[in-house]
Structure 1
Amino acid sequence: MKDAFGLPQSLLVLGGTSEIALATARRMIARRTRTVWLAGRPSPALEQSAAELRALGADVRTVAFDALDPESHEAVLGKVFAEGDIDLVLLAFGILGDQAHDEREPMSAVRVARTNYTGAVSATLVSASALQTQGHGSLVVLSSVAAERARRANFIYGSSKAGLDTFTQGLGDALHGTGVHVMLVRPGFVRTKMTAALEEPPLATTPEAVATAIELGLRRRSETVWVPGTLRVVMSALRHAPRQLFRRLPI
């Protein structure tokens, strides 16, 4: 169960090598989280992530999980929930893709969509059902500011996140009053290994800053969190910009 401050004592991370997820796990462990499940494809990186969190004092377990195998999600995640209640599920997996390459290779674009949207829909529904059955818990989904409006530079990735973003909003409405808290997180550009080769835009942030925002959002029972908060205003302006003007912007 969550502590008196609403912070989780148990955490399931879907995307166990995500830098944002691991920063969040470290922050949660520093507060009161004692049990952590890291779900991801078996790899040295997953085991290393688990070892680093164990060194902080948590009971950390790994579970083989593949976003591209939705048929397995119910069985895999069901085994985790069978071990005991989960206070927080953090959906943190996703791939950025390569826009220029993916436009030329449609199956690469499909892989982005299957990972970021189809796989996420499956894992989220399975987790939401389990949380509803236990009668409590939070489901935090990492979206992106790219979901707000498709941009020429990354419309494949952006459209996959837009689908997930809309889905999560609807799921939050559907679960309202059930005891399950759904929170959507919209970070801007985050400095991670995945984005290291990209040009850094204004208002770039860090995994640690996103983790801090997630913790604050959990305390406040927020439904949507922007990181940094300034992006709420920036993206609102972009979302409402006339299309002819929007097409001229260097984004």
Structure 2
Amino acid sequence: MKDAFGAPQSLLLLGGTSEIGLATARRLIGRRTRKVWLAGRPSPALDAAAARLRALGADTRVVPFDALDPASHEDTLGKVFAEGDVDAVLLAFGVLGDQARDEQEPAAAVRVAQTNYAGSVSSALVCGAALQRQGHGSLIVMSSVAGERGRRSNFIYGSSKAGLDVFAQGLGDALRPAGVHVLVVRPGFVRTKMTAGRPEVPLSTTPEAVAAAIESGLRRRSEVMWVPGTLRPVMSVLRHLPRAVFRRLPL
């Protein structure tokens, strides 16, 4: 259960090596979180991430999880919830892909969609049902500003995030009567290993800044968080530009 300050005492991180996810775990451990499950493909990196969280004082366990194997999600994630209530679930896995290559290799584009959208739909429904049975908890879904409007430079990745964003908002409405809180997080360009080598854009942010926004969103039970917050009015303008104007922008 969350403590008297509303901070989660337990966290299930799907995407156990995600820089944003781990930054969030560290921040929550610094507050009240004492139990963490890191779910991801077995690897030395996943084990090392777990060891670092244990060093911070959290009871941290590794859970095998593959976004591309939805048939296993109910069993794998169900075992976590069978150990006791989970206060917060963070869906932080995903792939950026390579737009130029993926346009030429449909199978690669499908893999982006399967990971970012289909894998998230499956795992979110499993976790959402478990949270619903508990009658409490938060589900945090990592969306992206890339899903706000299709752009020539990243419409494959962006479309997967757009689908996920709509799904998460609807899921939030479905779970709300049961006392479950769904938070959709829409960061802009985040400086991580996944974006290394790509030119930065205005309003770039860091995993730590996203983690701070997630903590704030959990405390306030927000439904949508933009990171940084100034992206909200910027994207509102871009969303309503006539298409003939929008396609001329270097986006």
Q: Please report the TM-score for the alignment, with normalisation by the length of structure 1.
A: 0.99
Partner of 2:42 in structure 1? 42
1:215 aligns with 2:215: yes
- Supply the distance in 2 between the matched residues of 1:185 and 1:7 (Cα, whole angstroms): 18
- Supply the distance in 2 between the matched residues of 1:80 and 1:57 (Cα, whole angstroms): 20
Partner of 2:73 in structure 1? 73
Partner of 1:129 in structure 2? 129
Amino acid at match of 2:63: V
- Supply the distance in 2 between the matched residues of 1:59 and 1:158 (Cα, whole angstroms): 36
1:101 aligns with 2:101: yes
- Supply the distance in 2 between the matched residues of 1:21 and 1:212 (Cα, whole angstroms): 11
Partner of 2:229 in structure 1? 229
Gaps of 5+ in 1: none
- Supply the distance in 2 between the matched residues of 1:3 and 1:200 (Cα, whole angstroms): 39
Amino acid at match of 1:139: L
- Structure 1 residue 33: deviation in Å? 0.3
Task: Show CA shifts across 1:154-196 (max 9, x none).
Answer: 0000000000000000001111221100000000000000001
Query: What SS class does the counterpart of residue 32 from structure 1 fall into?
Result: coil
Partner of 1:138 in structure 2? 138
- Supply the distance in 1 between the matched residues of 2:138 and 2:196 (Cα, whole angstroms): 31
- Structure 1 residue 6: deviation in Å? 1.1
Runs of 4 or more consecutive aligned structure 1 residues displaced over 4 Å after TM superposition: none
- Supply the distance in 2 between the matched residues of 1:217 and 1:239 (Cα, whole angstroms): 24
Query: What SS class does the counterpart of residue 174 from structure 1 fall into?
Result: helix
- Supply the distance in 2 between the matched residues of 1:204 and 1:25 (Cα, whole angstroms): 21
- Structure 1 residue 22: deviation in Å? 0.2
Partner of 2:165 in structure 1? 165
- Structure 1 residue 229: deviation in Å? 0.2
- Structure 1 residue 62: deviation in Å? 0.3
After superposition, residues 45-60 of structure 1 pair within 5 angstroms as 45-60=45-60
- Supply the distance in 1 between the matched residues of 2:166 and 2:203 (Cα, whole angstroms): 24
Q: Please report the TM-score for the alignment, with normalisation by the length of structure 2.
A: 0.99
Percent of residue pairs bearing the same amino acid type? 76
Task: Show CA shifts across 1:125-161 (max 9, x none).
Answer: 0000000001110000000000100100000000000
Partner of 1:16 in structure 2? 16
Query: What SS class does the counterpart of residue 152 from structure 2 fall into?
Result: coil
Partner of 2:113 in structure 1? 113
- Structure 1 residue 203: deviation in Å? 0.3
Amino acid at match of 2:161: K
Gaps of 5+ in 2: none
Amino acid at match of 2:106: P
1:150 aligns with 2:117: no
Query: What SS class does the counterpart of residue 90 from structure 1 fall into?
Result: strand
